[in-house]
Amino acid sequence: MPAATRYLGKAMKRKEDPRLIQGLAHYVDDLVLPHLQYAAILRSPYAHAKIRSIDVSKAQAAPGVSLVLTGADLRDRIGMVPCAAQIPDMKSAPRPVLALDRVRFAGEGVAVVVATSRYAARDAVDLIEVDYDPLTPVVDPEKAIQKGSPVLYDDHKDNIAYRWELEGGDVKAAFKNADKVVKQRLLNQRLIPVAMETRGVVAEYKPGERQLTVWSSTQIPHLLRTQIAAMLDLPEYSVRVITPEVGGGFGSKLNVYAEEALTGYLAMRLGVPVKWIESRRENFQTTIHGRDQIDDIEVAIKKDGTILGLRVRAIADLGAYYQLLTPLIPTLTGLMASGCYKIPAIRVELTGVLTNKMSTDAYRGAGRPEATYLVERALDLVAAELKKDPVEVRRKNFPKLAEFPYATPTGVIYDSANYPRSLDLALKLSGYAKLRREQAKARKQGRVMGVGISTYVEICAMGPSSAMPAGGWESATVRIEPSGMVNLMTGASPHGQGQETSFAQLGAEILGIEPGDVNVIHGDTAIVPYGIGTFGSRGTAVGGTAAYMALMKLRTKLATLAGFLMEEDPSKLVFDKMKIFSKAHPKKSIGFGEVVAAAYTAKTLPPGMEPGMDATSFFEPSNFTFPFGAHVCVVEIDKETGDVRLLKYIAVDDCGNVLNPLLVDGQVHGGIVQSFGQAMLEEAVYDEQGQLITGELTDYAIPRAADLPWLETDRTVTPSPVNPMGVKGVGEAGTIGATPALANAVADALAPFGVRHVDMPFKRERIWKLMQKGTRRAK
């Protein structure tokens, strides 16, 4: 990144916002096409049942209904929901678009109605009669793998989806040489992503052109197009996917869902456009869930706090079927099990389990929050065991700066870091020493106060293609139009992250023009070159780098042409304020537009130069990036009720170089608050019958404005060597770094009650009971 910049690194307000703040943006449900009809889906009330028969006759005869279909009607017409993840010896768990003869989770689609209005479609759903033969549901993942448990699939002998192991370093020796072994079971509860916009699809088929257009609220338009084409057996060129405005994803729209192919099929079959909009209840039941992992950890330590080894036995509840990346997500926990520490020996044993629940998959952080949580809890447990300050134990185990790039025993290479620097800054900003004094005073007064720390590292900018099922590169095409206006097309698919702005800043910086002259286009497979999408904190680090490369190609071409026109050395030219000029003779300049026009009129081109002004780049990163940071927080617990109040939150994040600090702050705040949700409020609860009893926002709480204190954020900057801009990615930092800080604070607060560990979420009753128990024990 250039040292002195005009736009990059500046807090520019967003280009996206005018349409969004005036109600002029178009989300998928805002689209209306002529003759549009509406689909509604009947969903299974049972978690596990055989379908004996389905009678659709009354629904078919209902007013306004044009079509009713069941799984049997679609058996040979739409392929299975795809899973891109492959793990050796993994059992299959494919999901049909609508259930065939068996349902495996409450909410699974059983039949679909299409009618002329939303209301008519919904009414007809109630008229479908299904005769179910209920089976015993498998809900608890640990019971699911015991002998004698009912099995979800007739062709499987048990519910174990796979076993996966990872070992690096001499684990046996580490535990043999340990002074102590610290053990703990940690539950990382099931979460519901709750993007504020539910999923939705509109599809239109033009038979003459053989063109199926699918508008979907997705994070991955191109991968979706490929998969829809495969599921519907269409040539890929016959499918166009457009993402309209997307109202949040958090990983839940990094998927290929049954309804996306189904709505496309319905539009083809009926010859009219069809819209399906997910209700919030459906969103809770049938959009992917996150986390749901049980981790038994053992840490081998020396008395001085040095960590020798870590053993993790993890059980991941995958749900009933594989969605796009379901089996892969928990393996990321294994990759990141070293945290930001030098742990010489690590062994991870992971068991993926099938249960009668909705699939888990990538939810903001995806596998890494689980890793960070277990490592950061482990560090605090070690500190408690040795009666040391958690800061001291962390410092003791950081790798030395000279060791970077640092290779972990889990097989990843941390690109660059300065862990002590971010920790020092967080401690300074929080007044850590003073906080500890305040805590001691509070305890004397009988108040229950805790201080929590987390120093985290995450794996981002997904990623090298070798590690990614569908490739890990990203694309960009930059086209400077004859007028000098720039269209920048990115294969990333932002949905709130603000890349229409930050990529415009990038374009303006490189070409010496105004950000207003750079129009960023994304999310339309007919316009944008094939791309991978927005997830895994990759938008800027991979997508942005592709844009950077394409822009640099054009800059080189512009310089060559300008040099030719001005008779100056192209390598000495400067691009600034809509002009191109030589450093040596700054008064002699040529207008940016003039050079572009020359490229199109093509009358005075240097020999061998092609006319026109566009370039495409595909950036393949050589490694992931590893952003990191240090968070400190303070909680106080109401002794009488167990209510946990977050009083103070300090976050220092290092995501490398920053294109727009406003956007980075927004990502950090949002991530921390989502983490707060996991720590304090959120848990998807299924009862013994496999019913999701947190099935609506009236029972599943997500954070509200009044729940939170002011968040204090700051940054350190350690550029990544993996890409030319030195950026790392920040989309998931908050959800990875913050959860353990909050958990450590609560455990710290409860230490006087003899509590070592509490599982999330820290609901009042759970905390209250622990305090009661602790008080009774003390008496």
Q: Is 61 or 433 the residue whose CB approaches another protein more closely?
A: 61
CB–CB of 490/550 below 8 Å?
no
Residue 35 tokens, joined: 């003759």
Among the listed ranges 160-168, 576-584, 657-665, 740-748, the one in contact with another protein (CB under 8 A) is 657-665
One of 5, 465, 604, 641 touching another protein (CB under 8 A): 641
One of 5, 26, 516, 754 touching another protein (CB under 8 A): 26
Please list every residue from 29 through 68 that binds another protein, using CB under 8 A: 29-30, 32
Report the nearest approach of another protein to the CB of residue 682 (Å): 10
One of 39, 128, 246, 337 touching another protein (CB under 8 A): 246
Among the listed ranges 247-255, 306-314, 400-408, 470-478, the one in contact with another protein (CB under 8 A) is 247-255
User: By CB under 8 A, is residue 247 in contact with another protein?
Assistant: yes
User: By CB under 8 A, is residue 516 in contact with another protein?
Assistant: no
- Distance (Å, whole) CA 150 – CA 288: 23
The number of residues that bind another protein (CB under 8 A) is 75
User: By CB under 8 A, is residue 279 in contact with another protein?
Assistant: yes
Non-local (6+) Cβ contacts of 726 within 8 A are 1, 656, 657, 719, 720
CB–CB of 630/652 below 8 Å?
yes
User: By CB under 8 A, is residue 764 in contact with another protein?
Assistant: yes
Cβ-based burial of 603 (10 A; exposed 0-12, middle 13-18, buried ≥19)? exposed
Helix (H, G, I), strand (E, B) or coil at 255: coil
For the window 682-721, what string marks contact with another protein as x by the rule CB under 8 A? ---x-------xx-xxxxxxxxxxx-x-xx----------
CB–CB of 504/548 below 8 Å?
no
Region for residue 511 given its phi and psi (left: phi exceeds 0; alpha: psi -120 to 50; beta: otherwise): alpha
**Alpha-carbon Rg of the chain, whole angstroms?**
28
Among the listed ranges 122-130, 512-520, 528-536, 544-552, the one in contact with another protein (CB under 8 A) is 122-130
Non-local (6+) Cβ contacts of 483 within 8 A are 593, 596
One of 96, 334, 496, 621 touching another protein (CB under 8 A): 496
Among the listed ranges 279-287, 344-352, 479-487, 623-631, the one in contact with another protein (CB under 8 A) is 279-287
One of 405, 666, 721, 752 touching another protein (CB under 8 A): 666
Report H helices in 459-610: 499-511, 545-566, 592-601
Report the nearest approach of another protein to the CB of residue 734 (Å): 8
Distances (CA, A) of 757 to 27, 636, 638, 744, 767: 43, 16, 18, 8, 11
Report the nearest approach of another protein to the CB of residue 153 (Å): 30
User: By CB under 8 A, is residue 765 in contact with another protein?
Assistant: yes
Report the nearest approach of another protein to the CB of residue 263 (Å): 18
Report the nearest approach of another protein to the CB of residue 753 (Å): 16
Pairing of strands 109-115, 37-43: antiparallel
- Distance (Å, whole) CA 340 – CA 190: 25
Q: Is 363 or 404 the residue whose CB approaches another protein more closely?
A: 363
Residue 608 tokens, joined: 């061998």
The CA angle 317-323-324, to the nearest 5 degrees, is 120
Euclidean distance between the first and final Cα of the chain, in Å? 63
One of 52, 101, 119, 303 touching another protein (CB under 8 A): 119
One of 22, 53, 445, 466 touching another protein (CB under 8 A): 22
Please list every residue from 191 through 230 that binds another protein, using CB under 8 A: 194-198
Q: Is 25 or 230 the residue whose CB approaches another protein more closely?
A: 25
Report the nearest approach of another protein to the CB of residue 492 (Å): 15
Q: Is 428 or 764 the residue whose CB approaches another protein more closely?
A: 764
- Distance (Å, whole) CA 622 – CA 327: 25
One of 10, 50, 122, 388 touching another protein (CB under 8 A): 122
User: By CB under 8 A, is residue 24 in contact with another protein?
Assistant: yes
CB–CB of 221/493 below 8 Å?
yes
Please list every residue from 719 through 758 that binds another protein, using CB under 8 A: 734
Q: If DSSP states are collapsed to H, E and C, what string results for 361-417?
A: CCCCCCCHHHHHHHHHHHHHHHHHHHCCCHHHHHHHHCCCHHHCCEECCCCCEECCC
Among the listed ranges 21-29, 221-229, 609-617, 619-627, the one in contact with another protein (CB under 8 A) is 21-29
Among the listed ranges 23-31, 159-167, 337-345, 551-559, the one in contact with another protein (CB under 8 A) is 23-31
Please list every residue from 335 through 364 that binds another protein, using CB under 8 A: none
